[in-house]
A and B are shown apart, each in its own frame.
Chain A
Amino acid sequence: MGFRSYVIRRLVYAVIVLYVILTLNFILFRVMPGDPTKMIIDPNFTPEAKAELRRQFGLDEPPWKQYLNYMKNLLKFDLGYSFSTRRHVWNELKERLPNTIKLFLATFVLTSTVGMSLGVKAAATPGSFRDRVVIPAGLFSHAVPTFFVQLLMLLLFGYYWPIMPIHGTMSAPPPVGAWPQFVDKLWHLVLPVTSNMIVGFGSWALYARNTMIEALGQDYIITARAKGMSERDVLYKHALRSVLPPIVTLLFMSLPGMVSGAVITESIFSWHGVGRYLLDATLQMDYPAAQGAFYLIALAVVICNLLADVVYGLVDPRIRVGAGGVK
């Protein structure tokens, strides 16, 4: 099987997975207890007004018809109107996506870089002081709840030593000029990204350390050392390369998780992003909004899986794509 056929097959799988996810996305919200119109608990909101709202939401239609409308609209990338705000879901998501992507990219780059560097360094000298620091720090980072660290940082740098902004992505109102605005936005990134890094680097460090230690015990590493290669070359050119495939997979697989994991960070730092939107929509039973946010996340998962499959084949020489087929 050629690389092209392999990619096409993966694409077909991806479409099927996406279809299943979208169908479940529709069903889940309908079987969930509750009714969106019940979220308005107001003595002046009469049964007639509720019925009118249900009609306007399209909830008076039979479920199969709702499903058909839902799929038809998704094909056109029409995510509908939010029940609670009556605004186009896509317009609302568009407002929030840049913030989530910014937060996510900064977190991702910092967390994976710091985590993997520490893991690789610790693996190079197992049992050393460095290793003995990295392991408990990694375990702490892996185990400590995100909200705890974030609230602590809020308290430390927002209250006791009030040097950092505690909410939002910019000052209100922002400074005048492009450069001051850029610096202002960076300044607002510091607390959320640092706190995410504190709770996120541990799993990267521990994973990188463990896989590297395993790799460093392999015969080809002994051979490389016997050949007189420098320790740096052994570490980065041989050992690290051999553990890259699972790490790359982990990299891609962690991408969508970070988007959905943004819920807590976005809530604590009042960040106007997709994670918080998803949370609000779910709590308010705002089907179109929640479905829209899930649709985006499902799309991200499927695309990342696809990329992971493709990149895995590229970085691992043991996997032959082309004449030998895919193993």
Chain B
Amino acid sequence: MPKKVRLPIALVLALVLALGIAGAPGAAKMAFETTGPHVDEIIMPIIKDSEARRIAFERGESVVWAGLTQPEDIDRAKSMPNAEMTMTLGFHMFYLCFNMREEPLANQPIRQAIAHCTDRDNIIRTLFKGYMLPMTSFVPQVSPFYKADVPVYAYSHGKAAEVLDKAGYKRGSDGIRIDPKTGKPLREMKIFTPTYEVAPTSAELGKMIADSCQKVGLPVVPEPMDFPVMLDKIDIHEFDMYVLAWGLSRNPTHLYSFFHSSMDVEAGYNNPGMRNAEYDKQSERLYYAADLKEAKEAADACQLILAREMPYVPLYSRPYIDAFRDDLVTGYVPMMGFGAASYNNQWTTMNIRRVDRRGKAIEGGTIRWALQEEPKNLNPCVASSAYEQEVLSRLNDSLMAMHPETLDDMPWMARKWDVGVWEPEPGKKGTTVTWYIQKGIKWSDGMPFTAEDVEFTINYLKKNDVPRYLDATQDIVKVELIDRYTVKVYFDNISYWHVYNAGLAFLPKHIWKDVEDWKGFEPWKEAHPKIKGYSKLVGTGPFILKDYVPGEYVRLVKNPNYWRLNK
């Protein structure tokens, strides 16, 4: 039966020691400055082939080799004398999902037995040479909402057999377990995985779990298939089990999206088909929490129920491992949950600087940072991929920032914010968030950034139903401009998370007010109406887009109007 264990801290430390990587949890306090940037220019060559990216890093044509996941790449980077590696835990979860709608997986003992048959340690050791973190809860370890003491179904064929025997699933003459309800052998249960060609580790992992289940008489088989076919089958709930990964965020609202019964619809994310009244109540408490305390309590309760119900078997979480050329640069900041080279990490962009031959940090100059894909569309309303954010995140700032070590909110373009309550209609409560914008912030073309830009952006995104920001804007009822630097946003329900809905790419009103075709607008290609040599891609961030030659490179230069400029 489940027992309470405290795996993570020991495992994290073990992983860090095994890797011998800097910037890991538990390392000395991170040094970072909130002013910058310290380089004049970033040239980002677009190198799509992974082998070519590795060679570019080794040749010094890129100061970073970002997002290492393959053990051989990690080993290679570790062996380079002029490479320093950083590692942080990530908001990532790889899992085995059950379809709880159908027999026999609707039965908890079967799911529990499969969980007992899943040898996470062996999977991580065999397939990933230890470069993954075993995951036992439904929130990644790095999250402030992670609950360490949830019951864990430890790997044990003996315990799996015990659970099955106790529930009446006896072995038949051929070794297959008999369903006590029908008296017949259990039907074959399939684990869908992507094909070996597309995702060899996922495919092999499915086979390992299936082989292990067969040892206790569970007729589980792996079925690798084309990825779009697999997604289709998952969407219409035609599956027994599948393995897949999620990239998550700091806030645990996925616990609502993934397991609340209202999300058990086609194209919804409750793929296991979990329908549990107690869970619904707790996940609603989480999703509509009035404050952080309530959110934390509800997240804990959700994780406990999930550990019991086992709609997923969480398998592992992938840490962010990045390699930097320490003979060329210094100042990169490993950020918990996002790594040192992720576009979510504004601190590396602000703090990275070149070093001279003696390894001393120097101001200014150019660094080269390889992009692995084309940033195809730099229109902030349309850009959705990580590759576009690699560029846009360096051109824009947000209202609040995230501390790289604690992940706490930090005032940024907003010097403070208030969260309050209002009545959208009699008897109903809604949330208000009032933002107090810092004075003196300028767009890169020199125009002031004010509360009017915030108001304009929200109204513009709402008016056009921009899909990318629908989740952030759909609960907003109205925006009120209090003064030039204060804006109040009204939401039609109570939720602590609304404060994070301001994570928008703000649109400069003076540019966008005349844009009617928000989808077709290509601001980086249109000349700025007033400033020669500038485009209409105007931001408040540390850099300006100087050139973008499709397929070749992106060139960013320091924004002379940046409000956090290192003077």
Q: A-side interface residues toward B, CB under 8 Å?
A: 32-35, 37-38, 40-53, 56, 81-82, 84-88, 92, 95-96, 99, 151, 154-155, 158-159, 162, 166-170, 172-173, 267-273, 276, 285
Contact = CB atoms under 8 A, between A and B. Distances in A.
A48 B553 contact: no
B379 A158 contact: no
A276 B376 CA distance: 13
Interface centre among A151, A272, A273, by most B CB within 10 Å?
Answer: A272
B551 A85 contact: no
Nearest to B384: A40
Chain A interface, >50% SS class: loop
A46 B470 contact: yes
Contacts of B235: 35, 38
A285 B254 CA distance: 26
Contacts of B377: 85-87
Contacts of A49: 467-468, 470-471
Nearest to A32: B228
A50 B235 CA distance: 13
A278 to B, nearest CB: 14
Contact of B551 (A40, A52, A99, A154): A99
A84 B550 contact: no
A86 B203 CA distance: 33
30 contacts: A34-B229, A35-B231, A38-B232, A42-B247, A43-B253, A46-B474, A47-B267, A47-B268, A50-B467, A56-B519, A81-B519, A86-B379, A86-B382, A86-B520, A87-B377, A154-B49, A159-B55, A166-B55, A167-B46, A168-B46, A168-B47, A168-B551, A169-B551, A169-B552, A269-B49, A269-B52, A270-B46, A272-B551, A276-B48, A285-B228
A173 B43 contact: yes
Interface string B222-261: 0000101101100100000000001111000110011000
B551 A166 contact: no
B374 interface: yes
B257 A43 contact: yes
B505 to A, nearest CB: 15
Contacts of B294: none
B10 interface: no
Given A52-B465, A172-B45, A34 B228 contact: yes
B51 A170 contact: no
A154 B52 contact: yes
A172 B553 contact: yes
Contacts of B247: 42
Contact of A48 (B43, B229, B246, B474): B474
A95 B551 contact: yes
Contacts of B468: 49
A182 to B, nearest CB: 16
Contact of B550 (A53, A95, A173, A267): A95
Contacts of B43: 172-173
Given A34-B231, A84-B376, A267-B49, A53 B467 contact: yes
Nearest to B379: A86
A268 B555 contact: no
Interface string B37-71: 00000011111110110011011000000000000
A166 B552 contact: no
Given A49-B470, A170-B549, A170-B552, A87 B48 contact: no
Nearest to B375: A85
Interface string B367-384: 010000010110100101
The 7 closest A-B pairs by CB, nearest first: A272-B551, A34-B228, A172-B553, A85-B376, A49-B470, A33-B229, A86-B382
Given A86-B377, A88-B520, A154-B51, A173 B547 contact: yes
A40 B228 CA distance: 12
B61 to A, nearest CB: 8
Contacts of B51: 151, 154-155, 268
Nearest to B60: A162
Nearest to B229: A33
Nearest to A270: B48
Interface in B453-507: 465, 467-468, 470-471, 474
Contact of B232 (A35, A56, A99, A272): A35
Contacts of B265: 47
A153 to B, nearest CB: 11
Contact of B48 (A52, A81, A267): A267
A227 B45 CA distance: 64
Nearest to B231: A38
Contacts of A37: 267
Contacts of A276: 48
Given A43-B258, A50-B267, A159 B58 contact: yes
B170 to A, nearest CB: 39
Contact of B52 (A87, A92, A167, A169): A167
B52 A38 contact: no
Nearest to B368: A172
Contact of A154 (B48, B55, B269): B55
B551 A162 contact: no
Contacts of A34: 228-229, 231-232
A268 B471 contact: no
A43 to B, nearest CB: 4
B49 A167 contact: yes
A317 B232 CA distance: 57
